[in-house]
Structure formats: C-alpha cells, structure tokens
Amino acid sequence: MPQRDLHWSSAQQYADDAYESFLGKSWRPRRFPCIDDDSDLGIKDTYAFVKLAYQAYNLKTLRKPPDESQVRPARAILEDALAEAREEHRRLVEARLSMAQGGAAPSCLTEVETKAWVKRISSHLKLAEALQP
C-alpha cells in the first residue's frame, strides 16, 4: 500500500470514528461544558471535509470523477453545520446587549469563534460545490 493511501485511510478512520461517536453509534467520550461547546461543529466539519478532500484528491491525481454518494451526504452535513454555526452567531449577537448589562451568555462560544466556524464551514462547502457534477 503506497504511503499516501495509508494517510488517507488513517484520516478517514479518524473522521468516521468521531462521527459515529457523535451520532451515538459507539462509545461517546465525556463532554465538558464550555470546553466542548464547539466539538459537534468540529466533528461534523472534519468528517465532511475528509470525505470531500479524498474525492478532490482522487479527481486531481487519478482523474477519477467524484463519487456522488460521498459528496452529497458530506455537503448536507456541512449545510447543517453551517446553519448551526450561523444560528449560534445570531444568538450571541442578539445577546450582546443583555450580556453588557450583566446577563448570562447563551453559550461559552464567542462571536469571533462562531464567525470563524461560519467561514471555515463555508470554505468547505465551496469544495463540495466544486465536486458536484
């Protein structure tokens, strides 16, 4: 097995294991408030991105057309994660005034973090769009 295939296999196994854990299909690690607030976004984004990156790699190096059965679900996962990140960002922006007056934040994430997630997930969605037939 060529070295690069081993790397792809490892990346896919890591992403699959984390996503299965997220879905509750296997053991789920303990979660810590605030520290893990964005872990679901990270798991979804990483899983979908690894799937898409592998399709892009095959297209570029092997001239193999992207597998629609891999691209379509990855895109749907990214769209869901993007909607979640945007909603969290909207909640934080709306809560800013309340927090300035001593109110509690809706989560431990910040506007900067949610904006970064929106940007990251949006860039991965562009890859999904580029791989669509």
pTM, rounded to two decimals: 0.85
Residues 6 or more apart in contact with residue 50 via CB below 8 angstroms: 11, 12, 14, 15
- pLDDT given for residue 108 in this prediction: 85
Distance CA 115, CA 119 (A): 6
Per-residue pLDDT tens, the chain, 133 aa: give them: 455 666 889 999 999 999 988 888 666 677 778 878 888 999 999 999 999 999 999 999 999 999 999 999 999 999 999 999 999 999 888 887 676 777 676 678 899 999 999 999 999 999 999 998 7
* Chain-centroid distance, C-alpha 28: 18
Nearest-angstrom CA–CA distance, 129 and 92: 29
User: Domain locations in the chain?
Assistant: 3-131
Confirm if 124 and 48 have CB atoms less than 8 A apart.
yes
Closest to 19 in 3D by CA, of 104, 77, 93, 97: 77
